[in-house]
């Protein structure tokens, strides 16, 4: 029997509420400007917040990965990298 975590009734598969969809957008990084914006939350969270060394955060694999940028309006709010 596989135990599942209890999220207090929150459905992780339910679509975002309309207000959240209007506030946030996400998409692949396609331009150098998008890439620069994707590095802002990455540096703020990993390097400043988690004290991750520069050499670990920028490991040379960034240009061989697919990056996704989450924006709150026009501001970068989150990012992920897939290899």
For 51-78, the pLDDT digits (tens) are 888 888 788 888 889 999 999 999 999 8
List of E strands, 1-83? 24-28, 66-72, 75-82
Residues 1-42 pLDDT 10s: 555 555 565 554 455 566 677 788 889 999 999 999 999 888
Number of domains in the chain: 1
d(CA 62, CA 83): 9
Does the residue 13 lie in any domain? no
Q: Are 29 and 70 in contact (CB under 8 A)?
A: no
Does the residue 1 lie in any domain? no
Domain span at residue 51 reads 18-82
The pTM for the full model equals 0.66
Does the residue 42 lie in any domain? yes
Does the residue 7 lie in any domain? no
The pLDDT value recorded for residue 41 is 87
d(CA 29, CA 82): 11
């Amino acid at each position: 029997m596989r135990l599942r975590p209890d999220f207090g009734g929150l459905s992780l598969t339910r679509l975002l509420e309309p207000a959240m969809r209007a506030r946030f957008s996400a998409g692949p990084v396609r331009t150098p400007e998008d890439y620069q914006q994707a590095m802002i939350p990455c540096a703020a969270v990993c390097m400043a917040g988690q004290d991750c060394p520069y050499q670990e955060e920028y490991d040379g694999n960034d240009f061989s990965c697919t990056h996704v940028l989450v924006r709150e309006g026009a501001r970068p709010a989150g990012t992920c990298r897939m290899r």
